[in-house]
Amino acid sequence: MTIHDRESTPPVATSKGSRRRFLSGAAVAAAATVAAPAIVKAQGPVHMRWQSTWPSKDIFHEFAQDFARKVNDMTGGDLAIEVLPAGAVVPAFGLLDAVSQGTLDGGHGVMVYHYGKQTALALWGSGPGFAMDANTLLAWHKYGGGKELLEKLYASIGANVVSFPYGPMPTQPLGWFKKPVAKVEDLQGLKFRTVGISIDVFTALGAAVNALPGGEIVSALDRGLLDAAEFNNASSDRVLGFPDVSKICMLQSYHQNAEQFEVLFNKGKYDALPDKIKAIIANAAEAASQDMQWKAIDRYSKDYGELQSKDGVKFYKTPEAILKRQLEVYDEVVKKKAGENPLFKEILQSQIAFAQRATRWEQDTVVNRRLAFDHYFGANAAASKL
């Protein structure tokens, strides 16, 4: 039928009864149409106030904002997360309590910052990871039983939170020093900053350890309260001012070889969200996890170069003797803690079982890229001839 035909077709006659039924149905539909927007409008978007454990200028706070932006965009504004920097509401190390108690609706940090609450929390990032990198550790968390163990762990300390570990970090430097560290004995007596199980490891290596949040480290170095310190990466360390107080950075270490970030929600606030929003949050965490890795590769590599070319920093590789001693000391530390804490032992055994399988596959399968790097960018510099 053409448009002309439809327009010229006479209306179909209806009985009074069918007309009354039609008008009644239309009234119901109209009422539903009016009521539905009213309900949405009455509820309105859910606003959440969060805090990160990072200074506002740190790239880590940017990562926190990136996660919030993804959630806000994916929910179409139905969930609006505002992220404040460390100290805006509570100190960085007070995040878990603040979220659990509902002072904050959520937050962004790392689990090693809760080490004082339950030492087993540091197993999500503080240590050698049993040869796993941070991405493999996250694979254990999602598919190897880590998620269930973390829920059990938080329940054991009465933490009213829902946790989403995400964002695997590259291996962190040994730290910033006044002079290069050549042997284990060079750590003896140093006033050193670190966190998590690394506190116990560096203490056993002879250092006098002080756990400080990121925003306080450089001022402590400047005032002589610390002799040396580690934080995380080239971008964070540069913007926080490490090259202003030290020109020596030792790269590669096992003390925080496999760390990741954590997104925390107050459990009551999270449970009240619609299932659709919860699904978006879970998927946003995974999307942000990958995006964070890409951004980190881009920014860290640029800042690594500029720390040398513009800030005069000299980088040294941590001697193998120190790396080996770190592993030996770590084994002693976790063995002791496993003997004191059954949940610590349970998590440790779960990680070891997963790591033995996953890292064997990785070592056998993934080619060592050092040969390719030397070929293209080493002495022969094949890349310059292409």
Which segments are annotated as binding site for substrate? 172, 193, 230, 256
Long-range contacts of 152-159 (CB under 8 A, 24+ apart): 152/343, 153/118, 153/120, 153/121, 153/343, 153/347, 156/118, 156/343, 157/117, 157/118, 158/100, 159/96, 159/100, 159/117
Rounded to the nearest 10°, the torsion over CA 298, 302, 305, 308 is -130
Binding residues: 172, 193, 230-231, 256
Please choose, from the candidates 279, 258, 261, the residue with its C-alpha nearest in 3D space to the C-alpha of residue 270. Answer: 279
Q: Which amino acid is at 238?
A: R
Q: Which residues, other chains included, contact 212 with Cβ-Cβ below 8 Å and sequence gap of 6+?
A: 193, 220, 226, 229
Query: How far does Cα 54 stand from its chain's mean position?
Result: 12
302 phi and psi angles, rounded to 5 deg: -65, -45
Binding residues for Na(+): 231
Contact 75, 277 (CB under 8 A): yes
In angstroms, the CA 229 to CA 222 distance is 11
Please choose, from the candidates 260, 229, 287, 296, the residue with its C-alpha nearest in 3D space to the C-alpha of residue 110. Answer: 260
Burial class for 61, CB neighbours closer than 10 Å (0-12, 13-18, 19+): buried
Dihedral class, residue 268 (left if φ above 0, else alpha if ψ from -120 to 50, else beta):
alpha
Dihedral sign of CA atoms 139, 142, 144, 149 in order: positive
Tokens read off for 72: 């806000």
Query: How far does Cα 133 stand from its chain's mean position?
Result: 14
For residue 274, what are the CA distances in angstroms to 46, 51, 108, 265, 344? 11, 23, 22, 14, 34
